Structure 1
């Protein structure tokens, strides 16, 4: 990143007054230019979008997109290098991809060391014993929550995904009660909708399991059981690798505990697949 900053500094005297404003912003907040459009950058310093684009061309780039890709890569490499400096034995000669994958591996290792296995087993018991299971999430976590919900329903036949602000959601809320279980994915950014769902679940007597990233999560206040797992973030992209690993462990424990029931349910589904000649 330092070489890029030096390049901008060396070219600074050649910039127009508008381009100098862009350069000043880059010195102060390079991450803003890395993840904002040329139009947004121009608005931030009161210059035109074309001024921002010409500024990147003045630096030797074809356009803003090429410059932005370089900045994103430089910031990511700098961030990972700082993290690696904390290691007793830094890994050398790694590609950028290998560093990113190492970050995900580290998050799984952290989960392995920090997970409370007794709490995990209690969560498995709750899932096995519940009459009805509902899974909900922030919209950033929806994909992995929906995947987990689908597997639970496939295996146990009693799970639904709760998607706030839909007609079905309010029907589900109205049915919550004793013997029901709500599993909430609550990773940043936390939404009020999830918190309101958990408030309603507790008020109606349902049990609540929260999967979240830290002890400061606002969802914990409504949880009967909590599993904490960190989400690794690089380039403003959250990696749920460790969350996926935790969910897979839960699924395997549930399968072992309810093997007869799950095997029967899966056999019925496989028979239907075969009858419909679904797979090649």
Structure 2
């Protein structure tokens, strides 16, 4: 353990000095000290798993230290271990929702420590001409966003963002034109048509990469590669910060896998945009 890690562990340990803790609570305290570097970013469930205790035990532990619950203890841990100012103890619903999205992004970042799935997904998609990108209902804007940028560097990107009887016709046409894979963005509440389209794509022999909110979402069992990214559920309508980040990470991986043609197409686009005065700056 280096000097910084020792100092961080010491600051976390100081939180528990003098507190009368049960054996279970001492176990939790030991786990937090042992994992001091990341303690400020762990959920109550993750702390419980590390310590081998129940999640309610973690809540009771935080209250034994004088906090209203585990989130309040985590704010103090974050201030101690990162040097960041503690978040305000009382947050309104909007603040809480946005802070929740930072947690989702942290999980995406941790997941990307291993890039095997992202690279495998990219390899499947860059070889598909055309490349259908499915996104219905809530996922339609994200499919369009991905498709807008992907079309700058990959030929034949087709965004399938409308349901109804023509959806499977368009999928059939993409397959007949040579598509070998499809990107499916399927978010809660999981449109039935999206899952059916993925089944049809698989039956036709297409590989499917799915961006969805969970590894156990209804589309996951039909996909060749699943890239999960949680959605925010604290507001009336979901926040899709995590899935959007994952979509753009996937596009970056596709660009990294084919750097020369991507660079050539970008330069061609920039030259055309300059000639046509497309942008103000």
Q: How does the TM-score come out when normalised to structure 1?
A: 0.64
Kindly indicate whether the alpha-carbon contact (under 8 Å) linking 1:138 and 1:189 is maintained by their aligned counterparts in 2.
Answer: no
- Contact 1:179–1:207 (8 Å) recurs in 2: no
Q: Is the 8 Å Cα contact of residues 108 and 241 (structure 1) preserved in structure 2?
A: yes
CA-CA distance at 1:217 after TM superposition = 1.1
2:263 is aligned to 263
Counterpart CA distance in 2 for 1:179 and 1:278 is: 31
The residue that corresponds to 2:141 in the other structure is: 143
Query: 2 CA distance for matches of 1:110 and 1:232?
Result: 13
Aligned partner of 2:42 in structure 1 is none
1:211 Cα deviation from its structure 2 partner: 1.0
Distance in 2 between the 1:85 and 1:131 partners?
A: 51
- 1:106 aligned partner: 103
Match of 2:76 among 89, 98, 115: 89
- Tell me how far apart the structure 1 counterparts of residues 73 and 206 of structure 2 sit (CA, whole Å): 44
Name the SS of the counterpart of 2:208 in structure 1: strand
What SS class does the counterpart of residue 93 from structure 1 fall into? Answer: coil
Distance 2:168 2:269 in 1: 27
Q: 1:272 to 1:232 in 2, by over 3 A?
A: same
Is contact 2:125-2:182 (8 Å) kept? no
Aligned equivalents of 1:130 and 1:143: distance in 2?
22
The structure in which a higher percent of residues are helix is 1
Q: Contact conserved, 2:187 with 2:212, CA < 8 A, in 1?
A: yes
Which residues in structure 2 correspond to 1:130-169 (within 5 Å)?
130-162=128-160, 163-165=162-164, 167=166
Check conservation: 2:212, 2:229, Cα contact below 8 A.
yes
Distance 2:131 2:279 in 1: 29
For 2:209 and 2:263, the matched residues in 1 are separated by: 25
Match of 2:51 in 1: none
3-state SS of paired residue (1:215): coil
Aligned equivalent of 1:76: none
Distance in 2 separating the partners of 1:128 and 1:247? 14
The aligned residue for residue 245 of structure 1 is 245
Conserved? CA contact 1:136–1:183, under 8 Å: yes
RMSD: 2.5
Who is 1:278 aligned against? Answer: 278
Question: What are the within-5 Å matches in structure 2 for residues 44-193 of structure 1?
Answer: 84-85=71-72, 87=74, 89=76, 91-93=86-88, 96=92, 98-115=95-112, 116-162=114-160, 163-165=162-164, 167=166, 170-176=169-175, 179-193=179-193
Whole-Å separation in 2 of the counterparts to 1:242 and 1:263? 27
In 2 relative to 1, CA 192–93 (structure 1 residues): closer, same or farther, beyond 3 Å? closer
Unaligned runs of 5+ in 1: 1-80
Q: CA 1:181 to 1:152, structure 2 compared with 1: closer, same or farther past 3 Å?
A: same
Gap change, CA 1:223 and 1:271, over 3 Å in 2: same
Asked if 1 retains the 8 angstrom alpha-carbon contact of 2:215 and 2:226, the reply is no
- Give the whole-Å Cα distance in 1 for the aligned partners of 2:164 and 2:248: 29
- Secondary structure (helix, strand or coil) at the match of 1:260 reads helix
